[in-house]
Amino acid sequence: MAPLGAPLDTYSPLELEQAVLRRYSVEQGWSSPDQRPVSMATIQHANAERAQLHIVEGGKWLLASVDGSVTAYDLDHPNHRGQIIIPQYTGMAASNLTAHISVDVFRNISTLTFNVAVSLHCRANRDATPTWTTFWRVTQHGDGIDAELRAIHLTSFSTPGNSRCTNAYLRDKLYVRRVEYDVEDDRVYLIEIYAWEESDLHQHEKSVITDKIGRVMVRLIPNGRLLVLRRAEINIYEIPPFATVPVSDQYQGSQVAPFMSVLLPGNRLLEGGVSSILMQPSDTYSLIACTNTGIYLATLSATTSHVRLLHAITDEHRDASFSRLDTTHLGWRRAYLIYYDYALAVSYDTEERDRADVSESCYQDVEQVCSASSGLQEHLKPQPVM
């Protein structure tokens, strides 16, 4: 069952029974080809089309950010107003927008606690104004209808103003971001891994990998490794040694060859098209990924890598400019494909080798189900190593 907001011994038998029944009802709603999802909620948020969103593991809290501040919404009580838990950052000289929210949940603490990294970029001339990343620790106080989140600031650091973060991920003491830099008349693409606790306003402790053009997703995985999804290719790298450099130094690192790799069918990864990553025995990694041709189970190891089709997508154009899909939410048993005028729920069996057990449900009015679908994905995914 997904993590609850407080230790199990603080709940009454009735509350535990209700939690189990709620989980069961969600399972039934996802697996049925005829019923609408049991749990849906619509959240009103200013400038929602610009908001960066994140469902905290467990499905109770939705984090939303547009201007550097972060608002938390209790999805168990969607009629309650959102609570601003992180204020707008005032260290930037010009107004800013949130580029990414990254969340790392502590798994060894009974009270829900997680770190948040908020990556900002400036609306003004990015050559003149440095951009900032701020780090916070958030803890849940109370439970049920009285639960609230409180945040304390941990650290912040700036990066050169001629950069833009396109993807980011936070795990333990490391923070990775994929960045585009404008250098003279050229554009440089880098993957920067920060030891964020050792980086400050004066210097950075970081490792850098030279990247290339294209949509990229980055994930930190155990044992000092980095997983990179680019177009329809999945690569795993050993993170290069870290270096201490001044903030103003545009340290560009070097090219690094992956030591694990697999190519998915299709020519591009869809927005949001990757699940959590599971580490298996014998140094093997597995994940669910979605390209323009389908949803696949990919397994990577040092000796062999393979891909298995879970669900085919036959109506998606090769050219992203003609895409009908807005975004995808992938779990280990279910996926939610959000088109511009409807949404498609898909379930599959990742354990079976010979067939994919797929059931589908179509739902209209996609705007009302987007946030709920993200929450269901977090409720139902297995416990990953990261």
Domain boundaries, the chain: 7-38+270-386
Instruction: Find the mean pLDDT for residues 64-77.
Output: 91
Q: What is the pLDDT of residue 191?
A: 94
| Residue 254: strand, helix, or coil | strand
Q: Which two tokens stand for residue 137?
A: 């620790």
Q: What is the pLDDT of residue 125?
A: 57
Q: Is the pLDDT of residue 205 over 90?
A: yes
Eight-state DSSP code of residue 241: P
Residues 6+ apart with CB under 8 A from 5: 58, 60, 112, 140, 143, 144, 147
3 CB-side CA count, 13 A: 22
Q: Which two tokens stand for residue 6?
A: 């407080």
CB 185 within 8 A of CB 134: no
CB 178 within 8 A of CB 166: yes
- Helix-strand-coil split of the chain, %, nearest 5: 10, 45, 40
CB 131 within 8 A of CB 159: yes
Over the chain, what is the mean pLDDT? 79
Q: Tell me how far apart the alpha carbons of residues 207 and 204 are, in angstroms, rounded to a whole number.
A: 9
Of 45-59, 177-191, 208-222, 367-381, the poorest mean pLDDT is in 367-381
Q: What is the pLDDT of residue 2?
A: 41
Q: pTM, whole model, 2 decimals? A: 0.79
Element containing residue 371 per DSSP (H, E): helix 370-380
Chain CA centroid to CA 247, Å: 27
CB 195 within 8 A of CB 359: no
Q: Concatenated DSSP letters for 15-54?
A: HHHHHHHHHHHHHHHHH-SSSPPS-------TTGGG-EEE
Q: At what angle do helices 370-380 and 13-31 cross, to 10 degrees?
A: 110
- What would the pLDDT profile of 302-341 be if each residue is shown by its tens digit? 888 899 999 998 877 777 677 777 778 888 888 888 887 7
| Neighbour count for residue 166 (Cβ, 10 Å) | 18
Q: Which two tokens stand for residue 102?
A: 């990254």
Q: Tell me how far apart the alpha carbons of residues 227 and 327 are, in angstroms, rounded to a whole number.
A: 21
Q: Tell me how far apart the alpha carbons of residues 243 and 202 are, in angstroms, rounded to a whole number.
A: 14
- What would the pLDDT profile of 146-200 be if each residue is shown by its tens digit? 899 999 999 999 887 677 888 999 999 999 999 888 777 788 899 999 999 999 9
Q: Concatenated DSSP letters for 66-106?
A: SSS-EEEEETTSTTSPPEEEEPPP--SSS-EEEEEEEEEE-
